[in-house]
Amino acid sequence: STSVTWSVSPTGIGAVSSSGVFTPAGPGTATITATSTQDSKKSSGAAVTIAVPSNPTPTVFNLSPESLSAGSAPQTVAIIGAGFLSSSQVKVNGVDHAATFVSATELTISLTAADLATAGSYPVAVTNLPPGGGTATANVSVVPTLGSVLPSSVVVGSTVTVSVIGADPNTLSNNIVNFTQAGRLFAAQPSAATLQGSTAILTVPLPARISPTDSSSSLSIATSVSLNINGISTLGNQEIHVHSPAH
């Protein structure tokens, strides 16, 4: 109105236009006053509280992919959920990871080669800072993989060397190597296990029952490694050729 002037206090809390429209500059309490242009003694004011918007609590529905092979190259992982902000923060196994804001329902992060070096189940935590906010978590699985079974051609009764990428040094004693011959499963406990970086080297004796039949001097068998690392089981397969000493 042209019959009043507008003012706001305290200084810096915001601005009020000549038509009485108040624009806050930040949180707090502002007093907006209208003063008559005809009589400065006539005025009226009102207090207005400016609240800071509360950040939403994030929710994580799933990760894509949820499982990755140990020893993989760096991988982008999508975090699917709700309540994400451009300021949302992400930690993987307690370590900060830069997040790319795609939308309120999706963030992406990059898992490094170091993240994928050792098998395990690792928490991916999304945090929105106060006011409001909160943290939501989902787990990404890094699964150990079968590297090699050597030699690929062996004599009955000998041993093979099995390498497993991403093995946990605390679980080497839990490793079981399975051999499959004609649909039959034979389990073998490694006679020795060492660690080279994050790769387990297992020395495994061939089960006595795996041998060429009477009608054949050689056979091929499938070899798989079954691990239980932090509750994760994995299978990798590779064929080897078993033959009699005379073959």
Return d(Cα 24, Cα 26) in angstroms, integer. 6
Count of CB atoms situated within 10 Å of the CB of 199: 19
pTM of the entire structure? 0.65
Spatial CA neighbour of 196 closest among 176, 225, 167: 167
How many Cα atoms sit within 13 Å of 174 on the Cβ side?
14
Spatial CA neighbour of 19 closest among 38, 40, 34, 9: 34
Exposed / middle / buried, residue 86 (Cβ in 10 Å: 0-12, 13-18, 19+): exposed
* Per-residue pLDDT tens digits of the chain, which is 247 residues long: 458 999 999 989 999 998 889 999 888 999 999 999 988 889 999 999 998 889 999 999 999 999 998 888 999 999 999 999 999 999 999 999 999 999 999 999 999 999 998 888 899 999 999 989 999 999 999 888 878 888 888 887 788 888 888 776 566 656 677 777 767 777 777 888 888 877 888 888 887 776 655 445 555 666 555 544 444 455 567 777 777 776 4
Contacts of 114 (CB under 8 A, 6+ apart): none
Spatial CA neighbour of 224 closest among 215, 233, 232: 233
Chain Cα centroid distance, residue 230: 15
Write down the residue that tokens 């950040």 correspond to: 55
Return d(Cα 43, Cα 164) in angstroms, integer. 82
Chain Cα centroid distance, residue 211: 44
Is the Cβ–Cβ distance between 191 and 159 less than 8 Å? yes
